[in-house]
Structure 1
Amino acid sequence: MNMPLESTAPALASAPTFRSPEGVETHEVLNQARPCVGHNAFTGDVALRDLVARHAAWSIPHATRVGALAGNEEVQDLARLANEHSPQLRTHDRFGNRLDWVEFHPAWHQLMALGTGHEVASLAWTTAEPSGHLARAVLSYLWNQVENGTACPLGMAYAASAGFAQRPEFAEWREKTLSAHYDPRRLPLAQKKGAVIGYAMTEKQGGSDLRQTQTTAVFAGTEGGARVYRVTGHKWFFSVPTSDGFYTLARTASGVSCLFVPRFLPDGSANRIAVQRLKDKCGNRSNASSEVEFNRTWAMLVGEEGRGIREILSHAHLTRMDFAVGSAGLMRQALTLAIHHASTRDGFGRRMADLPMQTNVLADLALESEAAMWSAMRVARATDSMALDERERLLARVATPVVKYWNCQRATYVVYEALQVHGGNGFIMENPVARLYREAPLNSIWEGTTNMMCMDVVRALDREKGALDVFLDEVSQPGVANAAHAKFIAALRDDLCAGPVDEGNARAVVTRMALALQASELLRHSDGAGAERFATSRLGGQHAGVMGTLTAGADLRDIVARADVSAAARA
């Protein structure tokens, strides 16, 4: 399935021009925005390019290749097709044999092959260069401008590899998960070139509260160096049900434990995995989420028995970071679409992007998008150093849920405003921004809801000695000089140091922490005018909380121009 790009879909540029039948034409089509294609989402992104040049210059070729996919017309058509043709569950074959399989549109498989082959899942683990997690985060950010549904299994493979590390019984699983070959065939692991990994944690009665796990697992002996269990129960969300193996939770004699369920048993026969139905999701239509029954299903223990939630939370740092990064990428795609639309369509006698109120909206969206990118990448940089640097570990522990919360929260609003730029056309499903509008809310739910993230921040500040000081130091470092920022940080410091955060006030406090981190990153690393604008508006009270309410000024055009990744393609 690792096809060259040119073979993944028919070229659209050579499509014939059709004319309406004689007598049917009523008008000539004029003043419609052009398709947002032909650009490179990496090389055209000034802020992202600067970040990579500073911290992971070796990965520029990787980012350039994935960035080209985001602006490629054929690849964007694959994204459209994968979302228009939803996966179909096949519980049985025509002879009555149990299948428990899901059929995806060929476009899904082509996208998965592209993402896997470009190392979107694996680069952090396969490179010998420094800043591997940052470089991989950049690829994820760019891939979320390609297609969001496939970002889910690619992100799960990234996190799953951490669970396999340093465990000999999972050596082959790790090797195949990190493979650059996407292999969708339904075969035992030994016969495959690559593996896809899923997760199955949530149950009906517990939702996000994993302590309420009712699925049970009974110890069945040791095989091949692994402790083996028989698992029985129901999982309410079973991600990517065609995966080759799944992490899950079950209650053992010692408590909730983490187990790994392969699709095939060591003898090559099918494991007892009964897919019940597919979820009819609001968005994320290209991807399949399901319910599953385990009935004495064969599974291997991961980590210590009774410490399953702790084991899964060690993966969750990576998946939560990936959703923070992914939401920033989703915002970036929405911004790109909005700027391109407004720059190729006229309204009220002027180019839409030049209308003062529209310029203000686009500039505001650009500030929001860039702030989301810098804060997410700061978490990725901390992740690269957390094993050896206690300060970075503490920062990652606090900042990951902060940024996951805020980026996922803001993505929905940013896409909503980007859709408004498109007018009625934006609300039509043929338009990619409509797909983003349905997609954006999901990121706030997966890997921990808004409330869960805020409570996790409160727990980290309370339980991790030194975490508060590290965070406050991070947002107050030299190089950050802005009056609004200084006043904001002083008030935040006073409130956080006054005592434990009240749970009922957690969202308000974590929102302020997120804004402080975003502003400090922009002031330290970004364009001066834009950074000042962000700090003054978000921290200084010169903003109504609605996009397009920046104080009018000539610099707004410069902010939009800096964010315009498709300008060169239009020229």
Structure 2
Amino acid sequence: MENIALVTPLEPYNPYVSDPVLQRAVEREGASETDRSSLALFGAEVGSEETFSWGADANRYSPELVTHNRFGDRIDEVRYHPAYHQMMNLSVTNGIHSAHYDGSPGDGSYVARTAQMHLVSQIEVGHACPISMTGAVLPALREQPDLASVWEPRIRTRSYDQRLIEPSLKTGNLLGMGLTEKQGGSDVRANTSTAMPVNGGGPGGEYRLTGHKWFTSAPMCDAFLVLAQAPAGISCFLVPRVLDDGSRNSLFLMRLKDKVGNRSNASSELEFTDAAGWLVGEEGRGIQVIIKMVNATRLDVTNWSVALMRQSVSQAAWYLMQREAFGAKLIDKPLMQNVVADLEVETEVGTMMVMRLAGAYERGPIDDHEAAFGRLGLAVAKYWLTKRSSPVVREALECVGGNGYVEESILARLYREVPLNSIWEGAGNVIALDVLRALQRSPDAGEAFVNEIALAAGSDRTLDREIARLRQTLATTVSEADARRLVEQLAHCWGASLCLRYEPAIADAYIRSRLDREWGSEFGSLPSELDLAGLAQRACPVTE
């Protein structure tokens, strides 16, 4: 039988060069010309056949927990496939975990770093968990300057050192966090793990921790920020895996979670038995300290959702550009154009939201509007984009048919990956309630968010109508039961505003479908008189 190649793989390609919406957003949010040039080079590296292969192998061969060595000594180590270490090395040497710490608010360094994260997590997102946590830890750790002075230089290197040895002897350190327990989940105030002071304890002082963490990802990190109950209440502690004398701390890995997706990233059940930890900040202020880390990881989780959307839609469009059926390329079929156009519009809006938040996060320390806008905007985007990513990836997989529903296809892995992002760093209800809290406790956040949307006022009558409705809604007390509906309203209005201001070619499609409801319940139901062919073409990757 003649072997006919009907479709060639997308890789190698450059996901940065192929994404003009991302490029425009990165420039608009302040990344320097030097950083933008570096992103183009990084995109080529990320989109190589070798990196795609690493991503596949890191997930095909799951991490293995080794609790004891051959002599019966407890070692509690996780062993990874070499491809995982290659992905970690790629991200660390390119500074995704720390390069933004070298910048200053407003210089665009965090925006560039967020774009890097967007690119690499399209190919393999499991390894991005410890990269994200390390990239988020310093704002929390700096609540205790003496601890930060020791650990910050260890983090701010570009050397990936996988050895489990005394942290000071390593060429680079990675940090994680442990928050949830089996009895409380997201309700961390219900945590029962205890922390007893040694020699009086106090900020920066030593404590002994006993208890457990139900989900601790990346357990081979060199240290973790952990919540536990101190005498004055829930508090934050820095807990290293290996102590300064080279001995192992009393942290025990009970088992690894057998997860649906995110297979490359080991997630463990962790127990402490009189483990040494050092208090970060004041006793009783653990949540206020750790939230500074969670806010940054929450942005990364949102970014991952959009990255998975982007890669899935790119893979689908690439396939449809080549695949012929019923006498024509599938990308030229009107109904398929409607599907791809709809997916592309959703993905482009998500890209603009994430990069806008990266700019707000970076400029927040020096700009009150950006800080207030980001407070609400991050919660809205985290809820909405992590929800939208699952149907987008599912529909993209369906575009490829049975060839997408096999393990050789990256789409099968991305499909298993997407649900996690709406769970960790706050599941849907937690985030929707966070939006209500932000509106109640920080009225300036709601005002800043609506003012941001209103930057497009006068450009479209439908959006003007929705802004008026939104202002009326926010002037009332929104009930808890209506929280999800409110977040959806905020997200749609924000998306329309971004389209009108920055990507007008997709504005009509977005507004008519998402605001005017000229849309069905599934992707591919845009009004037929739109330029569906032109919108679908925006999804097609450029490989030259």
Corresponding residue pairs, total: 540
Paired position in structure 2 for 1:56: 31
* Equivalent residues in 2 for 1:330-479, closer than 5 Å: 330-478=308-456
- Further displaced range: 419-428 or 65-74: 65-74
Determine the C-alpha separation between the residues in 2 that align with 1:146 and 1:177: 24
**Aligned residue type for 1:366:** E
Cα contact 1:479–1:523 (8 A) shared by 2: no
Paired position in structure 1 for 2:483: 506
Cα contact 1:479–1:524 (8 A) shared by 2: no
Query: How far 1:495 sits from its partner (Å)?
Result: 1.5
Paired position in structure 2 for 1:131: 108
Distance 1:551 1:31, change over 3 A: farther
Determine the C-alpha separation between the residues in 2 that align with 1:315 and 1:160: 5
Select which of 162, 186, 190 maps to 1:184. Answer: 162
Select which of 494, 497, 518 maps to 1:520. Answer: 497
Cα contact 1:69–1:146 (8 A) shared by 2: no
Query: How far 1:270 sits from its partner (Å)?
Result: 1.1
Determine the C-alpha separation between the residues in 2 that align with 1:305 and 1:323: 29
Measured against aligned partners, the alpha-carbon deviations of 1:43-77 in whole angstroms (never above 9, x if no partner) come to 12111111223321331123113311332111100
Cα contact 1:482–1:532 (8 A) shared by 2: no
Select which of 496, 513, 534 maps to 2:510. Answer: 534
Select which of 188, 195, 214 maps to 1:217. Answer: 195
Query: How far 1:245 sits from its partner (Å)?
Result: 0.4
Paired position in structure 1 for 2:84: 108
Query: How far 1:31 sits from its partner (Å)?
Result: 5.3
Cα contact 1:215–1:234 (8 A) shared by 2: yes
Determine the C-alpha separation between the residues in 2 that align with 1:444 and 1:337: 22
Cα RMSD, aligned residues only:
1.6
Query: How far 1:386 sits from its partner (Å)?
Result: 1.3
Q: Which runs of 5+ in 1 are unaligned?
A: 1-26
Cα contact 1:405–1:444 (8 A) shared by 2: yes
**Aligned residue type for 1:205:** Q
Determine the C-alpha separation between the residues in 1 that align with 2:510 and 2:269: 43
Paired position in structure 1 for 2:95: 119
Distance 1:295 1:519, change over 3 A: same
Determine the C-alpha separation between the residues in 2 that align with 1:480 and 1:217: 57
Paired position in structure 1 for 2:135: 158
Following TM superposition, the consecutive aligned residue runs of length 4 or more in structure 1 with deviations greater than 4 angstroms are 222-225
Select which of 53, 67, 70 maps to 2:43. Answer: 67
Cα contact 1:394–1:470 (8 A) shared by 2: yes
Task: Give 3-state SS (helix, strand or coil) of 1:145's partner.
Answer: helix
Paired position in structure 2 for 1:229: 207
Determine the C-alpha separation between the residues in 2 that align with 1:478 and 1:508: 22
Determine the C-alpha separation between the residues in 2 that align with 1:103 and 1:224: 36
**Aligned residue type for 2:309:** M
Query: How far 1:255 sits from its partner (Å)?
Result: 0.1
1:36 matched to 2:13? The reply is: no
1:45 matched to 2:19? The reply is: yes
- Further displaced range: 296-305 or 44-53: 44-53
Determine the C-alpha separation between the residues in 2 that align with 1:53 and 1:379: 14
Distance 1:165 1:480, change over 3 A: farther
Paired position in structure 2 for 1:96: 72
Determine the C-alpha separation between the residues in 2 that align with 1:547 and 1:379: 26
Determine the C-alpha separation between the residues in 2 that align with 1:391 and 1:332: 29
**Aligned residue type for 1:305:** E
Query: How far 1:530 sits from its partner (Å)?
Result: 0.9
Query: How far 1:479 sits from its partner (Å)?
Result: 6.5
**Aligned residue type for 2:86:** Q
TM-score (norm 2): 0.96
Task: Give 3-state SS (helix, strand or coil) of 1:246's partner.
Answer: strand
Task: Give 3-state SS (helix, strand or coil) of 2:123's partner.
Answer: coil
Measured against aligned partners, the alpha-carbon deviations of 1:295-339 in whole angstroms (never above 9, x if no partner) come to 000001111111101111121111111111111111111111111
**Aligned residue type for 2:396:** A
TM-score (norm 1): 0.92
Select which of 163, 167, 171 maps to 1:193. Answer: 171
